[in-house]
Amino acid sequence: MIEPWVLVALAAAAVQTVRFALQKSLRGTGLSSGGATFSRFIFAAPIALAVTAVWLALRGEPLPATTLRFWTFVAIGGLSQIVATMATVQLFAERNFAVGVAFTKTETILVVLFSLVLLGEPVAPAGLGAILIGVVGVMLLSWKTGGGRLALFNRASGLGLVAGALFGLAAIGYRGATLEIANDSAFFRAVVTLAAVTTFQSLAMAAYLRMAQPGEMTRVAKRWRVTSLVGVTGMLGSLGWFVAFALQNAAYVRALGQIELVFSLMVSWFLFKDRSTRREVVGMVLLLASIVVLILVT
């Protein structure tokens, strides 16, 4: 029987692919990377807060007490995701959509290390093997066409590696935050964490845009028909990830999340009319194989 966290993570990956596609579209409407990233949070925060309030009202429960450790994890995860998302939006201008997302998947091997060091949660040898298969797939995707060498130092790979590392750190922050809430419901722990994170991110991004990019928040508001969709899909995707983090080791969750590459390949082909090379397709197949192994061994 498939574990619940697997189904939740698969759904989150599908929704996140839609969100990334919308964010790529936003780059063509005159918004900066900061504006596209801000739209990801500003519309998600009110929804997450409302869901939390409704849950508390229906269940008759008080707002759970939070600790300094909880807010530390929230800040680490929130800031890491902001920078990682901005790097990802920039990355879309460097390579096609599917490969751009693939570069961010360097996070999976780093999550193993972060999970062990920061949370004390090791990964079983079989699970680590599955993750390493996925890393090989990412390396194939980073092989420079016609160059005969690994393209590890160009702008695209640099942005991808930065995004991957920070997305990995964000995953650990969110897993750690959900573990700090004393409640038996994985959904409740996830939605409270999501409300805290998206509110923090909205405030942080608003302060940044006000200082660094005056007028960008106004441009986001004027494009609310698209930016609100980014916020809603971002909120739903994040809720899925947070529930999965509440149920399972973050390394396994993020490794399974690589299924997003298959979804992004379909979006890349059918929506953006991109085409991938044979080597890139082989890399994606290896990533898919690693996901299948991961499901079987966890």
Q: What angle do the packed helices 224-247 and 186-212 form, to 10 degrees?
A: 140
* Residue 264: both structure tokens together: 């992004």
The arithmetic mean of pLDDT across residues 235-250, rounded, is 90
273: left (phi over 0), alpha (psi -120 to 50) or beta: left
Residue 86 and residue 202: Cα distance in Å, rounded? 14
Enclosing domain of residue 172: 4-297
Number of domains in the chain: 1
Tell me the three state secondary structure of residue 17.
helix
- Within 10 angstroms of residue 7's Cβ, the number of other Cβ atoms is 12
The answer to whether the CB of 257 falls within 8 A of the CB of 11 is: no
- Please answer whether residues 102 and 286 qualify as being in contact, where contact means their C-beta atoms are separated by less than 8 angstroms: no
| Dist. CA 256–CA 106, nearest whole Å | 13
Q: What is the pTM of this model?
A: 0.80
Helix, strand or coil for residue 143? strand
At residue 32, φ and ψ (nearest 5 deg) are -80, 175
Per-residue pLDDT tens for 142-190?
555 444 444 445 676 678 778 888 989 999 999 999 999 988 899 999 9
Tell me the per-residue pLDDT of 39-93, one tens digit each, with 9 for 90 and over.
878 888 999 999 999 999 998 888 888 999 999 999 999 999 889 878 877 776 6
Token pair 């699970």: residue: 127
The answer to whether the CB of 105 falls within 8 A of the CB of 288 is no
Percent of the chain residues past pLDDT 70, beyond the cut: 83
Assess contact for 185 and 243: CB atoms under 8 A.
no
Q: Are 108 and 254 in contact (CB under 8 A)?
A: yes
CA 252 to chain CA centroid, nearest Å: 14
**End-to-end C-alpha distance for the chain, whole angstroms:** 11
Residue 147's alpha-carbon distances to 102, 137, 143, in angstroms, are 19, 18, 8
